[in-house]
Amino acid sequence: MPPLLITVCMLTLSNVFMTFAWYGHLKYFHHKAWIIAAFVSWGIALFEYLLQVPANRIGYEVASAGQLKIIQEVLSLSVFIPFSLFILKEPFKMDYVWAGLCLLGAVFFMFRDKIMG
């Protein structure tokens, strides 16, 4: 499997953990003290880091740090939107579409040397 694909898969899983760590407490621990939510979030974030760190090390063999960051931001929004809609039950906003289009522009500029040849 190509290193960039491995990186994207690992970063996707990492973002699932990150989203639950950062925002899951709003749904599941809103009735608990914030310190409890923080410790639970830290526990979840450990799994995020166990995926994110090796993913970036693998990806850095074939992509720059800036390219890896843009990949992570695209994946972050791609994971967050369904989480927001289905877990937090927030309404869909067109702002998600506009933000996604802006990120696609960022992807183009960060990868244009590879895209354009």
Three-class DSSP category at 90: coil
pLDDT digits (tens, 9 = 90+) for 24-34: 999 999 999 99
Whether residue 114 has pLDDT greater than 90: no
Look-up: residue for tokens 């369904």? 82
Contact residues for 28 (Cβ-Cβ < 8 A; gap 6+):
none
- As a whole number of angstroms, the distance between CA 110 and CA 75 comes to 15
- As a whole number of angstroms, the distance between CA 80 and CA 84 comes to 6
Mean pLDDT to the nearest integer, 89-103:
94
Token couple for 20: 């639950």
What pTM was estimated for this model as a whole? Answer: 0.89
